Amino acid sequence: MSPPVREGRRRLAVVLWGVLGVVAVLVEAICRLGATAARILTGHTLTTGQLVLLAAWTVTIAYFEGYRGFQQRFSPRVVARALHLAEHGRPLHVALAPLYCMALLHATRRRLIATWALVAGIVALILLVRQMPPPYRAIVDAGVAFALAWGAVSILVCLARGLAGRPPGISADVPEEAHRAAIDAEHLARQAARAGGPCDP
């Protein structure tokens, strides 16, 4: 096997490990929430108001979490970070590729804060939902499971596009990019200052 072919396979393996690891986490949550919701809903007869609430909640979370959260932001970034990792990955980052792709490590400070704050919010929400009475807990769980399923599918679509040569047009939010952008901005500012300095009145 020639070195280019071997390197190409290595990169593909890194991308698949990172992205499919994230999808596996989502699938586990989908199965767990879906099973809980199904068990509760089959044991309770929902009122008309509760059915309306289920439909409204599912549509709302599908739009804000599934479409805006996953499809437009999280999913493209997962794939962008996986592709970046395949090109510039360190052994530790490759070993922890799913966490890397979720931006839980080796990301810009802003991205790390946002991601860990999101994780803390999700944990708090889980603890809160567990205290809800059964029909309403099932309603919440069913909507969340649907949004997560939307997210998992959108990640796979982004992955397929990325492997087909159409990487997502979104920043991987790695520290090197932020550092390089800062250097470029400083360089441009110095060039502008030098160009404008002699012409100042």
Kindly report, residue by residue over 101-152, the tens digit of the pLDDT.
Answer: 999 999 999 999 999 998 998 889 888 988 999 899 999 999 999 999 999 9
- Per-residue pLDDT of 83-105, as tens digits, reads 999 999 899 999 999 999 999 99
- What's the Cα-to-Cα distance from 17 to each of 5, 9, 65, rounded to whole Å? 18, 12, 24
User: Minimal CA–CA distance to 87: which of 172, 183, 182, 2?
Assistant: 172
Q: What is the pLDDT of residue 126?
A: 86
Kindly give, in sequence order, each residue whose CB lies less than 8 Å from that of residue 40, ignoring residues fewer than 6 positions away: 134, 135, 137, 138, 141
CA 29 to chain centre: 14
Say what the pTM is.
0.85
